[in-house]
Amino acid sequence: MQILNSLVPIFSVILLGVILRRRNFLTHETTQAFNRFAYFVALPVFLFHKIGTAPTGDGLANRYMMTLLGATLATVCLSWIVIQIGKIDRNARGTFIQAGFRGNLAFIGLPLVIFTTHDLPAAQQLKLESAVLIALPPVVIFYNVASVTVLSIYSTSTKQLKSWRKVLFNISTNPLLIACLSGLIVQRTGLGIPTAFGRTCEVIGASAFSIALVGIGSQLASISVAGKWSELLTTSIIKNAACPIAGWIIGVCIGLSGTELQVILIMCATPTAVSSFILADQIGGDANQAASTVVVGTACSFVTLSALLMFQF
């Protein structure tokens, strides 16, 4: 029932986005508008309100951060080993590594965690959701820095310096990161959120995931899968399977178990983020491979995430 109640709704909304784009109900312009609203308004408001009203943690957020960062580093290393062994074009190597570690934490991971914990006691549900949210900022920073690093190393483009300046600017102005840090300040200082403002945040935040998932589906519908299937599938296996396996090892070693462990493994198993294609295109990576990996990885993630939801930890 977990698959039916948690995973199917998310992929159904993504599929709806695909259908709407294929039927020309959504266009390139409307998809961009959807994604911009979700990224710059709805999701930041959701994150700020959730973190700002979160209870003081018991160290679970730190363990989540260690697990997610550790698993991400493990997949970076594994991807690097694979490109040394395999015959992968140089300009595609950075794209390959990025696709293996950069997960869609905000738009797919968070709603799946919320659905998965929905039937738990309210206090436990709030504790798990809050820990995941508080663990996100350092991971978002790592994603940006590591992505530009690997793409620049293997890029034949001359845009590296501009890329570094841009990534520093993007980190400092990232709306998701700003929302998380602002929420943490409110939570840690005990300032509180006025009721009227809090309810406004709830209304706006409620639209975040539906709009984001429809936007993802619409984007996927516009991508033609091209490239070497062996590389696409290998990258998907690294992101969707190797990352949660590494997360499981790390999580068990630092004392996570049961639902606490399942929640962070869901975050580890999220498919490659759509933003990886945008960044690869900007820095001179293999944009076609990056786009194709997003499509293949998203499809393959249904299998991995289903297994995680069925497995009893």
Query: Residues 270, 101: contact at Cβ < 8 Å?
Result: no
Q: Are 140 and 177 in contact (CB under 8 A)?
A: yes
Cα 244 from chain centroid? 13
What is the domain count for the chain?
A: 1
User: Cα(first)–Cα(last) distance of the chain, in Å?
Assistant: 16
pLDDT of residue 170: 67
- Identify the pLDDT of residue 86: 79
276: containing domain: 2-310
Residue 141 pLDDT > 70: yes
Q: Tell me what the mean pLDDT of segment 149-169 comes to.
A: 67
Q: How confident is the model at residue 159 (pLDDT cuts 50, 70, 90)?
A: low
Identify the pLDDT of residue 225: 77
Burial 194-212 (b: 16+ CB within 10 A, else e): eeeeeeebeebbebbbbbb
How confident is residue 49, by pLDDT bands cut at 50, 70 and 90?
A: very high
Which candidate, 104, 308, 92, places its Cα nearest to that of 217?
104
CATH at residue 259: 1.20.1530.20
Does residue 88 carry a pLDDT above 90? no
Distance CA 207, CA 302 (A): 23
Residue-level pLDDT at 163: 56
Question: Is 115's pLDDT higher than 70?
Answer: yes
Q: What integer is the mean pLDDT of 33-61?
A: 87
pLDDT of residue 161 exceeding 60: no
Among 23-27, 150-154, 283-287, which is the least confidently predicted range? Answer: 283-287
182-228 pLDDT per residue, tens: 988 998 888 888 999 999 999 999 888 999 999 999 988 888 776 67
Mean local confidence (pLDDT), 19-36? 90
Please tell me which of 56-60, 191-195, 287-291 the model is most confident about, judged by mean pLDDT: 191-195
Which of 82-91, 122-131, 195-204, 232-241 is the least confident region?
82-91
Q: Is the pLDDT of residue 76 over 90?
A: yes
pLDDT of residue 157: 59
% of the chain beyond a pLDDT of 90: 48
